[in-house]
Structure 1
């Protein structure tokens, strides 16, 4: 589970309704780390981290690893380093890093160099600390968003895996060949997936709906009950992380039970 599902980000106990094996903590300050460690230890949960964890108490307004503002790029690398170090201390399953910068203007000048510099530094952090660092695909930047573009960008950085965000891939449109295109190119290098349902028409206001909502491709949804088994056969990720928006209290287990049944039926071997 991602802490994105929490209506109250500090109410970790609410996650227990999903019976999670893994919780991906996103955007918590340093002061929350002892409570995160205690919660996971008390309930037999493996933590995972989504950059930035920790931050200094004020969440960064933007996470822009490729700039074009060099100060923002440097700040993003510092936050990534802090998260990787924290993951090593916590024994986290992985670290997820948004990449590239999703904000306009999308300037071509300097973009390739900035991408290479950030990925090289992040790969070095993964090696140094023995942490699985996963680059998360985004859908905004025209120079780096398709499966082919990510595959080229990560070709020289074998230490880095991919967190396949299914919604971000789906929002590229049917002509992009994603998310199946990511699975075809990356295979088992996809170590985790962010699982939720979405449509272009409902994004971003209702952009992260529960995976078991039952939407069909004809309605613009992914149709996860048909799509996920094929993706899992191609990739066999270590974890599927449910990243839907908060649901009505009492409905929490439904989506997790749906996903567990799908995994069990197809014997994919992933954990939720």
Structure 2
């Protein structure tokens, strides 16, 4: 059994609902919550948030007791890899049943990935082959979230090279993870964003000054001069190449306070301005 092959702490489900621009994304809920979530989604869709995505695992099956961000696609142990593919297929089955627009999955997980660059490349290629096959089987696109915490497979251009081979696959650009990855590997954040933009299909937006690894809600008071991610520059780069990218605010909010709404409105108006300027050059 995989539990005998690798030791990771067990974790309760995160149960995160992430709002977006005309969109909602569910991540890591227990299976017994699905009926309630169906009603939640219908209520949100009636208010304009009709776009839907599942972030694997969704829901979390009983056979996977680890944190929802855990994956073994680049692990050298075949039984662990198969556990992650089983998890992904379970998510795709539910996404198909709900008629979701796409799912999001991680490819890398630094804690368990191989440290051999050649093996990492081979495992990543095989994983994308299988992602594409599963995507076709369930007729649900798969977006691979860019995260650069692995030592053997972390370059933006390598993600792009892989994903560009498959029409079923796209990239989910996560602003916070991209910033942390750039710092970790001493790269320029905007260079990575520029490389990823060509294959972007969705974005996870949150802010950080990289002092704490926390998903800070967006707000117009967050100035790049004070160390925050420059969201306007980021969105201009991505939307110049993929103006239909889905936007998800990746911080769970129970109640949309005025400050949270200001952040939503800030990004929505920013994107409207970017698209207008692009279309009226």
Q: How does 1:1-272 map to 2 (within 5 A)?
A: 21-44=22-45, 45-57=50-62, 59-61=65-67, 62-104=70-112, 106-108=114-116, 110-173=119-182, 176-184=187-195, 186-187=197-198, 189-202=199-212, 204=213, 207-212=214-219, 214-244=221-251, 246=253, 250=257, 251-267=259-275
Q: Do the aligned partners of 2:180 and 2:210 also contact (CA within 8 Å) in 1?
A: yes
The runs of 5 or more residues in structure 2 that have no matched partner are 1-12, 277-281
Cα distance in 2, alignment partners of residues 10 and 117 from structure 1: 30
Structure 1 SS opposite 2:143: strand
- When the two structures are aligned, how many residues end up with a matched partner? 253
Cα distance in 2, alignment partners of residues 165 and 19 from structure 1: 13
Cα distance in 1, alignment partners of residues 15 and 108 from structure 2: 28
Provide the TM-score with structure 2 as the length reference. Answer: 0.78
The runs of 5 or more residues in structure 1 that have no matched partner are 1-7
Give the drift of 1:196.
0.8
The corresponding residue for 1:5 is none
Alpha-carbon RMSD: 2.8
Give the drift of 1:34.
1.9
Provide the TM-score with structure 1 as the length reference. Answer: 0.81
- Structure 1 runs, 4 residues or longer, greater than 3 Å off: 8-12, 177-186, 213-220, 245-249
Q: 1:228 to 1:123 in 2, by over 3 A?
A: same
Structure 1 SS opposite 2:25: strand
Q: Give a deviation string over 1:126-171, Cα, whole Å, max 9, x none.
A: 1122111100001201222221121233243332111011111112
Q: 1:121 to 1:227 in 2, by over 3 A?
A: closer
